[in-house]
Structure 1
Amino acid sequence: MTAETIPIENGQQVGVLVTSSISILIVIVAVGLRIVAKKIGNRIDYSDYCIVAAALWNTAMHACCISLVTYGGFGFHTTEIYQRFGPETATFFFKGIMSFSILWNATVCFSKLSILSMYAALIPMSSMLQWARILGALVVTWNIANILAAFLICRPLSKNWNFALPGTCGSQPSFYFSMGIVNLITDAVIIALPMPYLYKLRIAWRRKLAVMALLSIGVGTWAITIYRQTLLPNLDFTDMTYEGVLATILSGLEPAVAIVLACIPLMRPLFSKTRNTANSSFSYGSSTHTSLFSKKGGKVPDLDPTATFSELMDDNDASSQIELQPIKTSQIVRVSSVCSHHKQVPANLNHAITVETRWEVRRE
């Protein structure tokens, strides 16, 4: 039997519809602007693919929220749903809220992978790549575990949407609470990950702090997460259709805001007077050796990440001028033997002196 369309009668329903619609819109706009900014220099990379995937999952998640209102009675008490709209509507809701949990995990997973992939491109060092891969593996494992737990928390599975069936269920509020705590911890670790590398950048402190602030912008989601966490312990899951409205709104906003904040640091080319072009020496994300998803074979060369952060900084800043200077200990004399397997080398060329001059690019 097809679920009945539910009339919009209260503010809670309107709140879900408005926030979900806005969340879909702002994420699509933010990701679209990010892609345009990256295409200015033809630098689409794995972090962009991940953020697009996160945007698609975000759209599906909020479409699920909207359907919970229009077909699941979200915003009404469960008893009222049974009385006015029938058990099919309640069943639709509880199946939908389980789907919401799965979509939430997929959205969060790809948004975090996008950030880690961005770090791997911005900081082309073997240690950063190793840490990014370790954290990426933990994020994927954690989200898969959450999805499995959503299916296994009630036995049999159908008890998730039919509480009258014999069987057992774990505490859904406790499950969602622990999921939020782990999400908060992983956010903190991911934000802290690039800070030691940023501290060592050879740039002015004012600009260094600006880059740190840009890459720490994800803390903006913490207020949403913490407030949501305070609501979960007292949540009555049997009346989730009414009691869980605000917690669900905040849960939907959290990854949407995270996606938008992950896009903001990479939008600067759209607003810069001097845009990077395809001929620019800036090579963000162009190296296959520093990709989060590249094969692990071969040694990753450690490069100076200072230049790669030009995408995040103001080119018009007087402190951003690049000066080519020789290293103080620049002249190295090396004696080498010259030999050939094909022809006789004159005796006076058996030994040669090679003089090397090394140059260093400094950003003053």
Structure 2
Amino acid sequence: MATAGHASGNAVVGVTVSFTIIAFVATILRLYTRVHIVRKAGKDDLCIAAAVPLTIALTVTMCQQVNYGMGRHYSSLTSNEKIQSSIWFWASVWIYYLALCFAKLSILLQYLRVFPQNNFRTACYVLMAVIVTYSCGTFFSAVFACTPVAYFWNRSLDGSCVNQTAVWFANASINIVTDICTAILPLPVLRSLPIPTKQKYALMVVFGLGGFTCIVSILRLQSIYVVSQTKDITWNNPLAAIWSSTEVNVGIICSCLPTLKGCVQQIFPTLFSAEHSGHRSYRRTDGGSVANPNRMRDVSIAAYGHSLSGREKTQHQCYVQANGNGYATNVTQLLPSAQPANDTDIRVCTSVQQEFDFREDEAPSEREDCIRLAPVPTAHHMV
């Protein structure tokens, strides 16, 4: 167990810097998408913008620890290296807690932009309150781990420290629980959506990306135990440093990925085009063709895509009428149609209402297209 937390200083620098760069790039693309493409930045973007400087600061503390002896035996360090290494280690602990807090809040605030259900939103607010309260506690427990504070890096002073094993494991346990809750919170709502199974699973994967952070948190536990028990802190701290930095950066990356559709679509405009969707065509009575009416089920996932990109007020409604019976599908509920059809017709109507970000000289637009299909003998031949 004594060597279980060891890794080279170069490994610490390489991993922490690499993940920080990826998280930084992902955040820049996210902010570019929200500010310049969809022009709808929100509180979740502010949180992620706060998390990135903190994770950069965390990486700096890791690199400084390497500079002052991380990866080498504590007994081989000079007195100045021991003090400086301990100071940067102390700073890395509370910076880690702050960065993780903002990353989690960004994910939950993003949920609030997408899901309108009252029960779900209440659960989000409760979980956010738990995370903020827990993070405040971990921050102060890290800053004031010793009394006086300087006793943490200068043991020649008269002072004392809290039981680090108990505190760190208590904090890690609560952290894992909140990670699990954040990952599974939207799954019941997504499961109840009236959309095709494949689309439902795709949305579950997108919103379940936070589960990767939970996995990293669990893997980090063993390295925390080693650091809390060892007397050779600089030798056994590298793996804990790597896992801590990775956890924060993975949380930031997972928060950014669902928001990048607008950016990807601008770079690759044909990637999400309807021509590549593979839907069949149906013949109209006037000799033209119309896309497969079953595509009406795709609007629900499109609505979520707009919300993830920032257009949270997007609304899509589709309905099919056959022999006077109307059916409608919406992102959250089934709505009856109010417009009758002829006894011999099947009418496919698509009503799309989009609230755009507009200037003073612009206004929201609404469009309704109705295509009358060829008559059919009975109402049982649904399109």
Moved more, 217-226 or 238-247: 217-226
The structural deviation recorded for 1:139 is 0.8
Match of 2:45 among 45, 48, 55: 48
**In 1, are the aligned partners of 2:114 and 2:307 still within 8 Å (CA)?**
no
Match of 2:235 among 219, 224, 242: 242
The CA distance in 1 between the partners of 2:64 and 2:24, in whole Å, is: 20
Match of 2:248 in 1: 255
Question: Are 2:161 and 1:163 aligned?
Answer: no
Residue deviations 1:48-101, cap 9 Å, x none? 11111111111111111111222x2222222111xxx3x222111112111111
The structural deviation recorded for 1:306 is 6.2
Q: Specify every segment of 5 or more residues in structure 1 that has no aligned partner in the other structure, as ranges.
A: 1-9, 277-303, 314-320, 333-358
The CA distance in 2 between the partners of 1:237 and 1:361, in whole Å, is: 65
Moved more, 107-116 or 195-204: 195-204
Residue deviations 1:177-227, cap 9 Å, x none? 222221111010011111121112121111011000111012223332222
The CA distance in 2 between the partners of 1:200 and 1:177, in whole Å, is: 36
Residue deviations 1:13-49, cap 9 Å, x none? 1111111211221111111122223332212111111
The CA distance in 2 between the partners of 1:186 and 1:158, in whole Å, is: 31
Match of 1:69 among 21, 45, 66: 66
Question: Are 2:113 and 1:121 aligned?
Answer: yes
**AA in 2 matched with 1:28:** F
Instruction: Report how many residues are paired.
Output: 289
Match of 1:78 in 2: 74
The structural deviation recorded for 1:307 is 5.8
**AA in 2 matched with 1:29:** V
Q: Specify every segment of 5 or more residues in structure 2 that has no aligned partner in the other structure, as ranges.
A: 1-5, 273-298, 309-315, 328-335, 340-348, 353-382
How do 1:162-241 and structure 2 match up within 5 A? 162-235=154-227, 236-241=229-234
Match of 1:323 in 2: 318
**In 1, are the aligned partners of 2:261 and 2:305 still within 8 Å (CA)?**
no
Moved more, 44-53 or 106-115: 44-53
Moved more, 322-331 or 48-57: 322-331
Residue deviations 1:130-182, cap 9 Å, x none? 22222111111111100111133322322211234333222323322222221
The CA distance in 2 between the partners of 1:75 and 1:178, in whole Å, is: 26
> Share of identical aligned residues, percent?
24
Match of 1:309 among 291, 298, 304: 304
**In 2, are the aligned partners of 1:40 and 1:275 still within 8 Å (CA)?**
no
The CA distance in 1 between the partners of 2:110 and 2:217, in whole Å, is: 23
The CA distance in 2 between the partners of 1:361 and 1:260, in whole Å, is: 35
Q: 1:173 to 1:77 in 2, by over 3 A?
A: farther
TM-score with structure 1 length normalisation? Answer: 0.72
**AA in 1 matched with 2:38:** G
Q: 1:62 to 1:361 in 2, by over 3 A?
A: same
TM-score with structure 2 length normalisation? Answer: 0.68
Match of 2:11 in 1: 15
Q: 1:100 to 1:73 in 2, by over 3 A?
A: same
1:323 counterpart SS class:
strand
The CA distance in 2 between the partners of 1:222 and 1:125, in whole Å, is: 25
The CA distance in 1 between the partners of 2:300 and 2:157, in whole Å, is: 59
Q: 1:223 to 1:306 in 2, by over 3 A?
A: closer
Moved more, 265-274 or 241-250: 265-274
**AA in 1 matched with 2:64:** S
The CA distance in 1 between the partners of 2:226 and 2:90, in whole Å, is: 19
The CA distance in 1 between the partners of 2:175 and 2:263, in whole Å, is: 31
